[in-house]
């Protein structure tokens, strides 16, 4: 079993990375493979609702000049997802939101049914709003949301300060323990035991 962790910070080894690394180490200790993917400092396009991922390029975003398709393909063989982001103005990093929206819309089949968790890292405030924002797409994709002993939040401003948040680091470990437990339950017998979903029945409120 494998968990992908997306570091939604442009800084490769700052506080968001430290929070995700704490979770990754716990998962590894419990026999779960991990890989931390970096959002990095290169631009991430936003979805323009062109629909080409449904018609001309099924399962792939039409924009192939950033990390979106690469990350989606990695999820095809992964079993769970953790997305971490710093908090900017009470919201996750705009780049990570664009990434999630495009991955889920263009390659949702690689995500549906797989456990997911969000992690918000902040200096002082706005973490709960960012945390809620990150969790909303998971719920639309039938992804079981993995919780912890507290909201998955870590505090720190300067690089390295997240390690000083004793409760935050413990929250990361507990989240990872819960994810490992859930994954092992899902994969008992070797084959993932996902629910059989009804076909989606969308409707509009304006008729």
pLDDT tens figures, 118-155: 999 999 999 999 999 999 999 999 999 999 999 999 99
| Cβ contact 81:116 at 8 Å | yes
Quote the pLDDT of residue 193: 87
Average pLDDT along the chain: 96
pLDDT tens figures, 17-53: 999 999 999 999 999 999 999 999 999 999 999 999 9
| Domains by residue range for the chain, with CATH | 2-186 (3.40.50.360)
Q: Please give the residue that has the higher pLDDT: either 203 or 131.
A: 131
Q: pTM value?
A: 0.96
């Amino acid at each position: 079993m494998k968990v992908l962790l997306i570091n939604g910070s442009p800084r490769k080894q700052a506080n968001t990375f430290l929070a995700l690394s704490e979770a990754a180490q716990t998962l590894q200790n419990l026999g779960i493979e991990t890989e931390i993917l970096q959002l990095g400092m290169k631009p991430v396009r936003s979805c323009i609702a062109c629909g080409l991922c449904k018609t001309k390029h099924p399962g792939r975003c039409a924009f192939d000049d950033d990390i979106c398709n690469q990350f989606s393909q990695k999820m095809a063989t992964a079993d769970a997802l953790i997305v971490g982001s710093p908090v900017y103005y009470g919201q996750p990093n705009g780049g990570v939101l664009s990434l999630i929206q495009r991955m889920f819309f263009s390659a949702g089949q690689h995500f549906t049914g797989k456990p997911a968790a969000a992690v918000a890292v902040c200096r002082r405030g706005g973490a709960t709003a960012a945390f809620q924002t990150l969790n909303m797409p998971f719920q639309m994709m039938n992804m079981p949301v993995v919780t912890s002993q507290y909201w998955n939040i870590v505090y720190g401003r300067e690089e390295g300060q997240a390690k000083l948040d004793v409760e935050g680091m413990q929250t990361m470990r507990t989240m990872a323990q819960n994810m490992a437990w859930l994954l092992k339950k899902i994969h008992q017998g070797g084959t993932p035991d996902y629910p059989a979903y009804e076909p989606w029945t969308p409707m509009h409120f304006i008729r």
